[in-house]
Amino acid sequence: MTAVKLPIYLDYNATTPCDSRVFEAMRPYFTEFFGNAASSSHIFGWQARAAVDNSRKTIAEAIGATPDEIVFTSGATESDNLAIKGTAEANAARGRHIITAASEHKAVLDSCKHLGDTGFEITILPVDAEGFVSSDDIAAAMRNDTILVTIMHGNNEIGTIQNIAEIGAVCRGRGVIFHTDATQTIGKIPFNAVELNVDMASLTAHKVYGPKGVGALYIRKNSNVAAQTHGGGHESGARSGTLNVPGIVGFAKAIEIAALEMQRDIAHCRSLRDKLWNGIQSLGIETRLNGPDPITNPEKRLPGNLNVSFYGDAGELIAGNLFNVAVSAGSACTSASGGFSHVLSSLGLPGSNMTSLRFGVGRFSLEEEIDYTLDCMRSAL
Ligand SMILES: Cc1ncc(COP(=O)(O)O)c(C=O)c1O
């Protein structure tokens, strides 16, 4: 087998290592510039506030927004909650109907479910065999009392990149607020809030080589979103709580690097992911690709993502022999609650007699790691 440092990390859709350049940018904000960004009466607070302001500007510019359209949160789960529950609460007098899709992240589905338990009506649209939601289905599901459509940009399990601009145009045409969970796409593929016709977008730092526990919600100017966390009135009242200044600085640095290196990252991730997929196809066993074809339809799939189902004993042997390779059976987000992936079941997969693995390749993945992973699969068989 190829000499390679073990264990190997191939789960970049779950989280990414913090880029050392990001870590270095954050470091002084733990020790030297530790002030509270809300302390307005001294230099410690001013320094922290300046760092937050600069970071807000960097992140806003990267997504085609203005700084006042960015609300910092603790991550995409909180951003999804704020977007969905906040919109529902603020617009309940206009209507109580919300549209989403079966393959959404649990942060979206469970926020909708909670609203469903409190008097809102939720339409959960099906997805097609590759995980796409049809904008025609969305248009057909809209009613006079529809206030919100929430459809993710890139799927964390099967990599499907939705036609967000088209869905956004449908929503705008009908005066319905449109939220997208862009957790998996921000910094990975181009994202411009204006061009994509979105009113709200959830972001997080830890999927883009930034720190965990910090994210943001883009809220288009003049949108009506009720705060879900009350307290000191931070973030113009949209989300109270002392700001995570080092985290925010790291988030901005991660976004800045991702914007500069995006083309290289995309090419790198695609080439290793495709090598892995070609290698799996030459194992000589029956497999099923979940999500769009990376080779013939690369623009429609997240660059580093691959999700494959293996059948019967072969699947168990392969999964068992990947003990030195960190891959995901399902996703980190659903494996906390266990059970068969709701995303795979939304594609119509039965869940029995198959082992489905998600591979996530990233900025620091090496070709030798793909060779090693394929060697493990071959020797398992
Ligand atoms: C699509 C998607 N949405 C939301 C989340 C939750 O993000 P966070 O870990 O920042 O709360 C994740 C990742 O776990 C994700 O992949």
Kindly state whether residues 327 and 346 are assigned to the same domain. Answer: yes
What ligand 1 atom has the least distance to the C-alpha of 213? 10
Q: Which atom of ligand 1 is least distant from the CA of 333?
A: 14
Which of residues 211, 235, 256 is at a domain's end? Answer: 256
Domain boundary among 256, 282, 313: 256
Res. 330 pLDDT band, cuts 50 70 90: low
Residues 119 and 31 in one domain: yes
**337 Cα to the center of ligand 1, angstroms:** 14
What pLDDT shows up at residue 338?
Answer: 58
Instruction: Supply the DSSP symbol for 295.
Output: T
CA angle 178, 12, 109 (to 5 degrees): 35
Q: For the chain, report the end-to-end CA distance as a whole number of angstroms.
A: 15
Q: 253: which residues sit within 8 A by CB, 6+ positions away?
A: 19, 21, 22, 25, 26, 210
56: CB partners within 8 A, 6+ apart:
67, 70, 72, 248, 252
On whether residue 1 sits in a domain, the answer given is no
Of ligand 1's atoms, which has the minimum distance to the CA of residue 107? 4
Question: What is the CA(183)–ligand 1 centre distance, in A?
Answer: 6
Q: Which residues contact 227 (CB under 8 A, 6 or more apart)?
A: 82, 86, 237, 238, 239, 240
195 plus 299 within the same structural domain: no
| CA 179 to centroid of chain Cα atoms | 13
Identify the H or E element spanning 292: none
* Residues in contact with 230: Cβ distance below 8 Å, sequence separation at least 6, in sequence order: 240
* Strand order through the sheet with 305-311: 287-289, 305-311, 354-360
Q: How far does residue 76's CA lie from ligand 1's centre (Å)? A: 5
Q: Mutate which of 74, 156, 188, 305 to test ligand 1's pocket (most atoms within 8 Å of Cβ)?
A: 156
Query: Is residue 87 scored above 90 in pLDDT?
Result: yes
Percent of residues in the chain assigned helix, strand, coil, to nearest 5: 40, 15, 45
* pLDDT tens-digit series, residues 51-67: 999 999 999 999 999 99
Ligand 1, atom 16, lies closest to the CA of 156
Task: Tell me the CATH number at 315.
Answer: 3.90.1150.10
User: Starting from the edge strand earliest in sequence, which strands make up the sheet with 146-150, in order?
Assistant: 70-73, 215-219, 200-204, 177-181, 146-150, 97-101, 121-125
User: Are 45 and 143 found together in one domain?
Assistant: yes
Which numbered atom of ligand 1 lies nearest the CA of 156? 16
Average pLDDT across the chain, whole number: 96
What's the one-letter identity of residue 246?
P
Q: What is the mean pLDDT of residues 29-58?
A: 98
The pLDDT, as a whole number, for residue 350 is 87
Counts for the chain of helices (H) and strands (E), in that order:
12, 12
Q: What CATH number does residue 27 fall under?
A: 3.40.640.10
Rounded CA-CA distance 196/133 in Å is 16
**What average pLDDT score do residues 92-107 get?**
98
| Confidence band, pLDDT 50/70/90 cuts, at residue 1 | low
Distance, CA 206 to ligand 1 centroid (Å)? 9
Q: Which of 77, 80, 108, 302 to mutate to test the pocket of ligand 1 (most atoms within 8 A of CB)?
A: 77
Count the domains in the chain.
2
Q: What is the pLDDT of residue 108?
A: 98
Give the chain's largest Cα–Cα span. 69
Instruction: Please write the tens of the pLDDT for every residue from 163-217.
Output: 999 999 999 999 999 999 999 999 999 999 999 999 999 999 999 999 999 999 9
> Which residue has better confidence, 258 or 330?
258
Residues 18, 112, 269, 333: which is the catalytic one? 333
What's the gap between Cα 294 and its chain centre?
19
Using CB distances shorter than 6 Å, the residues near ligand 1 are 75-77, 105, 107, 152, 156, 181, 183-184, 204, 215, 333
Per-residue pLDDT, averaged over 302-324, amounts to 96
Q: CA angle, 308 as apex, 303 and 314 as ends, to 5°?
A: 145
Closest atom, ligand 1, to C-alpha of 204: 10
Q: How many Å lie between the centroid of ligand 1 and the Cα of residue 107? A: 7
Contact 115, 88 (CB under 8 A): yes
* One domain for residues 169 and 245: yes
Residue 168 falls in which region: left (phi positive, over 0), alpha (psi -120 to 50) or beta: alpha
Per-residue DSSP letter, 278? H
Average pLDDT over residues 234-263: 98
- Which structural domain, as residue segments, surrounds residue 107? 20-256
Q: In which band, very low, low, confident or very high, does the pLDDT at 357 lie, cut at 50, 70 and 90?
A: very high
Same domain, 321 and 341: yes
Residue ID of nearest Cα to ligand 1 atom 7? 76
As a whole number, mean pLDDT of residues 97-104 equals 98
Q: What is the pLDDT of residues 262-300, one digit of tens each?
A: 999 999 999 999 999 999 999 999 999 999 999 999 999
Residue 331 inside a domain? The answer is: yes
Does pLDDT of 332 surpass 60?
no
Q: Distance from the CA of 115 to the center of ligand 1, in angstroms?
A: 20
Residues 245 and 268 placed together within one structural domain of the fold = no
User: Cα of 42 to ligand 1 centre, how many Å?
Assistant: 36
DSSP 29-96: HHHTS---TT-TTSHHHHHHHHHHHHHHHHHHHHTT--GGGEEEESSHHHHHHHHHHHHHHHHTTT--
Model confidence at 151, in pLDDT bands (50, 70, 90)?
very high
Query: Is residue 333 annotated as part of the catalytic site, yes or no?
Result: yes
pLDDT bucket at 3, cuts 50 / 70 / 90: confident
Q: What pLDDT band is residue 351 in, cutting at 50, 70 and 90?
A: confident
> Which of 204, 244, 248, 358 most suits a substitution to test ligand 1, by most atoms within 8 Å of the C-beta?
204
